[in-house]
Chains A and B, each alone.
Chain A
Amino acid sequence: MELVYAMAIGVVTGSGVWLLLRPRTFQVIMGLALLSYAVNLFIFAMGRLNMNQAPVLDPTRAVDVAQYADPVPQALVLTAIVIGFATTALFLVVLLASRGFAGTDHVDGSEGEHR
């Protein structure tokens, strides 16, 4: 399980970083999206992988900490997902405005000598 999970993080991170380093704005926005998946998965993994142990308490029994998944990384990731959406929206609008303004979708605002 852990191996697959770790490899998944690795593949998504690699694709994200590759896109992040590309010159086109749309590539970068996709790269950020992939990278945020990977990072969310990574942070989530800090609570270790537990199955069928959702951190929803059973009121009829006394709380046994070992019975539940770690809620802290989950709370962190939940807010990260929502904020990630907001920043994607902001980046998208800046991207569109930059395309209209600069006439190119290169992240540097001009084609430069590179492609």
Chain B
Amino acid sequence: MSLLAIILLPFLGSLCAAFMPANARNVEAWLAGTAALATTVLVASLYGDIQAEGVLRASVPWAPSLGLEFSLRMDGFAWVFALLVAAMGTLVVLYARYYMSPEDPVPRFFSFFLAFMGAMLGVVLSGNLIQLAMFWELTSLASFMLIAYWNHRVDARRGARMALTVTATGGLALLAGMLILGHIAGSYDLDVVLQAGDTIRAHAWYPAALALVVLGALTKSAQFPFHFWLPHAMAAPTPVSAYLHSATMVKAGVFLLARLWPVLAGTEAWFWIVGSAGLLSLVVGAYLALFQRDMKGVLAYSTISHLGLITLLLGMNSPLALVAAVFHIINHATFKASLFMAAGIVDHETGTRDMTRLSGLYRAMPITATLALVAAASMAGVPLLNGFLSKEMFFAETVFIDRPDFQRLGLPMAATLAGMFSVAYSLRFIHCVFFGRPARDLPRAPHEPPGWMLAPSALLVFACLLVGMFPAHTIGPFLAVATQSILGASTPEYSLAIWHGFNLPLMMSLAALAGGIVLYQLLLRRRADTVPLLERLDGKRAFDFVQTALSTGSERLLRILVSRRLQVQLLLIVVFALAAVLLPLTADRAGWTLASPGLPDPAFALLWLVGGACALGTAYKAKRHRLAALVLSGGTGLATCLTFAWFSAPDLALTQLTVEVVTVVLLLLGLRWLPRRNDASAPDIPTSTRLRRWRDRSIALLAGGGLGSLAYIVLTRPAGEGISPFFLEQALPLGGGLNVVNVILVDFRGFDTLGEITVLGIVALTVYALLRRFRPAPESMELTQQQQEHSAPPPDTDAVLPPGPMAVPAVLVRLLMPLALLVSLYFLLRGHNAPGGGFVGGLVLATTVILQYIVGGTVWVESRSRLHPPHWIALGLLAAAAAGCGAWLASLPFLTSLAWHGSLPLVGELHISTVLLFDIGVYMLVVGATVLMLVALAHQSLRAHHRKPARAGEE
């Protein structure tokens, strides 16, 4: 349970932090600090369990039927890493409280900060590969938000975009790699995968999995050649750089390599891919760090170099090197974070991080300078500090590596060279900023920061010293727990002593120290501002080039493949649908013999003779005679309706009939605003148009013939075994209704229907909303011919009947109203046992309401009584949802129908069911939605601004 709390605590804190006022700097810091500290304590408290049990697990079922669960797994290595993440987070929160200025919107900062912390802990503690990849991407996103924190700055936005592009691309590669790994191992569970090392390494897909996983790790850890994003990420606030880009997030890459070390390592491919990326990053990063002007730039390249060192160690395929790598992960986090904090303090107190302007700060800020000095010494690998220990182990590994000649010779030399660079840039970092003549033209007069701002840095430096002097008693047990959990029985013997006697590694260390000092002296004489040798190695330029090429390429591709024209898109849809149907036909034609047709009923044939003619007429008339086309399509609709009735589908026939009515009214109302086409039929149709018409005709012929013959083939074959018998047999026992179609709609598939009526409501409201700002075509703004001829006065709302020729029909439709209401309620109530139901009932009522409008006129009807269709929609949805929720009272799943059967005095025998409430909901919603859409369209004629141009014309 505490494992789950470790992940949840930061996320909860993040949520709380997000909702605080912008100026609550102290409250935010307290909240974030408490969350981070509590997480740290939680992690630390698990140490005993880890020692006793080895691995702790926790899982929450998510989709058990798919075998997916949210699983957490903590072993020694994960414990050390989680503690690193949580403790470092606590320190950085404290530091950030003083670093962030009161003007900064801190809720955003602390919210994303804690979210990152939760995501990082998720990466570390995931017991499932897919879940790990998900948290991995979450850290990329959080990092993006944090780098772009000062989003008014161009460099921050660009740096954030670059970091996200590189790391998220790597994350995708990682996901693919994880999928392959899980596929080979047969499970995505980390425990299973860790056991399947031999299977995976022997598998044919091993190289692909390796390449993808390593790609993910290298991009995340800013390893060559993907290193370029890290220096640009330095646009982030310094606490972010200290936490994400030195101590934790960039370590996720090496964490993963170490995590999967038992699975992936031990092959030549691993050695060459991981080892060479590490070596190149180590040397190139250290070299480039020498020439940076920005303090954080030096630290960024140094981070690349140190992560390269760790990657190289991991790539060496030796258990001892793995121990050194884990050790260096911890050491690097301590000294690099404190150095970042020092850089941030200098920036904060002087207003600049430019090393050419800074100088002699030792006098103004002695404590900061001392702390930075010790941390930088650790970074350079000076004895008695923790950096020295892991660097010695690294040197030893390069010397004793079991490889062919040139590698045995080259590796120690490269390592010493990188050591020299490292000494030189550390020296430069300290000497340039803190020593020499005091700088004069600084933006602010430097002085020591508040004590609490120094405290985190001081604590880390203290840790460097302590580990450096008494390694076996401080870090020893933790390191043992961590490496044991990765290597298991094959954990090698190693000694954490400071003094191993005069041996080759020590010589290399001394050579690096001496060489570094000499190199710095040489560097001091140099005046040029460029980077010698590697000037042209600019990852950003390559990144920009690739990005531009990709976006122009995709634009070009889009131009070829995609049309913005709807007509072309529709054509493609039809053609693809045709092709999709034709494809199986070409494959197997064995079963495609046509049965001989039976003799049709002449009445049915006649019905469709008319129906088909109507359809063809619609197609012919729709361009110039819209009204005729509408009437003709209504004819086809009626034929369809009769067909439903003919073939035992009374519910469908009723629904089709009522929908047909409202559709025609709807389209008629729409036609009012669609101006007449005034191009006289052009006698000369261009050849291209002719050709296109023939093309469309043949496509239509193919489509019609295809669907028709498909229908014929299906119809002449016996029906397969489907799910229908279930519904027929269980409608009465389970659904308590005789009309099976209605039982399916409101009971068995009630959730679908609920979704459907929701869509109906949304569409109605959308139509209403669209019409509120509707601007019709200017040609259709003036009054219609009929309106002009009659030039009716404004309707008299007090009259008993509407004036004019509509008086008699008005009487009739008013008489119709109660009758129709009765009929609609009758349909609604009997729907469960006989044809009818909420849909039909609702449509009947809506039709009557519309009839009142048509005959009485909008103004006259609405002066009498107003239906509030939106209320009907809302009440309908509520009723349907309430019917669904009612099942919860009986602790049954949503939308389970409940029925009560009994007798009441006076009333007699009664059968009440939640299904009826559900159907009432459908009924009300259908009424509301239909009336809302039609009335909203009808109201357009009343709107004053539409008529203005017409009146202006009259004057």
Contact = CB atoms under 8 A, between A and B. Distances in A.
B764 interface: yes
Contacts of B574: 17, 20-21
A82 B206 CA distance: 54
Interface in B869-918: none
Given A57-B728, A107-B566, A38 B618 contact: no
Interface in B683-739: 685-686, 688-689, 692, 696-697, 699-701, 703-705, 707-712, 714-716, 719, 722-725, 727-729, 731-732, 738-739
B51 interface: no
A17 B700 contact: yes
Contacts of B704: 9-15, 17
B854 interface: no
Given A11-B616, A41-B643, A100-B776, A88 B759 contact: no
B623 A13 contact: no
Interface string A51-83: 111111111000101001111101101110111
B576 to A, nearest CB: 13
Contacts of B712: 2-3, 5-6
B443 interface: no
Contacts of B700: 14-15, 17-18, 21
Given A11-B704, A24-B623, A82 B711 contact: no
B570 A7 contact: no
Contact of A89 (B566, B666, B728, B926): B666
A78 B740 CA distance: 13
B651 A78 contact: yes
B597 A90 contact: no
B159 interface: no
Contacts of A12: 611-612, 615, 636, 704
Nearest to B667: A92
Contact of A79 (B640, B674, B752): B752
Contacts of B626: 26
A54 to B, nearest CB: 5
Contacts of A37: 615, 636-637, 640
A59 B832 CA distance: 13
Interface residues of B, number: 116
Contacts of A20: 570, 574
B629 A30 contact: yes
Given A9-B711, A78-B652, A105-B674, A68 B728 contact: yes
B675 A99 contact: yes
Contacts of B729: 63, 65
A49 B659 CA distance: 23
Nearest to B768: A93
A8 B667 contact: no
A37 B636 CA distance: 8
A14 B933 CA distance: 30
A41 to B, nearest CB: 6
A43 to B, nearest CB: 10
Given A21-B570, A65-B724, A68-B728, A2 B777 contact: no
A30 B629 CA distance: 8
A54 B393 CA distance: 85
B775 interface: yes
Interface string A85-104: 11111101111110111010
B308 to A, nearest CB: 56
Given A59-B732, A99-B674, A28 B570 contact: yes
B127 to A, nearest CB: 43
A48 B2 CA distance: 60
Contact of A71 (B604, B616, B728, B767): B728
Contacts of B937: 92-93
Contact of A59 (B597, B612, B685, B738): B738
Contacts of B933: 86, 89
B663 A33 contact: yes
A9 to B, nearest CB: 5
Contacts of B648: 50-55, 68-69
B751 interface: no
Nearest to A114: B689
B663 A86 contact: no
Nearest to B936: A93
B480 to A, nearest CB: 65
Interface stretch (B60-68, B261-269, B796-804, B833-841): B833-841
A96 B709 CA distance: 37
A108 B567 contact: yes
Contacts of A86: 759-760, 763-764, 929, 933
A88 B707 contact: no
B476 interface: no
A1 B740 contact: no
Contacts of B646: 51
Interface stretch (B210-218, B232-240, B519-527, B741-749): B741-749
B548 interface: no
B911 to A, nearest CB: 13
Nearest to B769: A93
A101 B775 contact: yes
Nearest to B573: A20
B833 A84 contact: no
A10 B709 contact: yes
Given A21-B574, A22-B622, A70-B724, A99 B655 contact: no
Contacts of A6: 708-709, 711-712, 715
Given A84-B659, A96-B673, A4 B763 contact: no
A79 B756 CA distance: 7
Nearest to B843: A82
A68 to B, nearest CB: 6
A109 B570 CA distance: 14
B741 A55 contact: yes
Contact of B666 (A71, A88, A107): A88
Nearest to A113: B688
B316 to A, nearest CB: 63
A9 B732 CA distance: 34
Contact of B697 (A18, A53, A92): A18
Given A2-B598, A65-B728, A92-B666, A114 B770 contact: no
B732 A14 contact: no
B659 A82 contact: yes
Interface string B582-603: 0000000000000001101100
Nearest to A102: B777
A16 B872 CA distance: 34
Contact of B640 (A41, A71, A97, A112): A41
Contacts of A49: 647, 715
Contacts of A33: 633, 637, 663
A72 B727 contact: yes
A23 B776 contact: no
A96 B732 CA distance: 47
A24 B621 CA distance: 12
B839 A78 contact: yes
Interface in B767-795: 767, 770-771, 774-778
Contacts of B835: 54, 56
Contacts of B597: 2-3
B622 A24 contact: yes
A2 B740 contact: no
Contacts of A34: 615, 618-619, 633, 636
Contacts of B845: none
A100 B623 contact: no
A97 B767 CA distance: 11
A50 B708 CA distance: 19
A45 B714 contact: yes
B699 A21 contact: yes
Given A4-B600, A11-B704, A96-B673, 6 more contacts: A14-B703, A21-B574, A21-B700, A46-B714, A71-B727, A114-B689
5 contacts: A14-B704, A15-B615, A78-B651, A78-B745, A82-B760
List the 9 closest A-B pairs by CB distance, nearest first. Answer: A10-B708, A14-B704, A6-B712, A18-B700, A15-B619, A11-B612, A3-B597, A71-B740, A69-B648
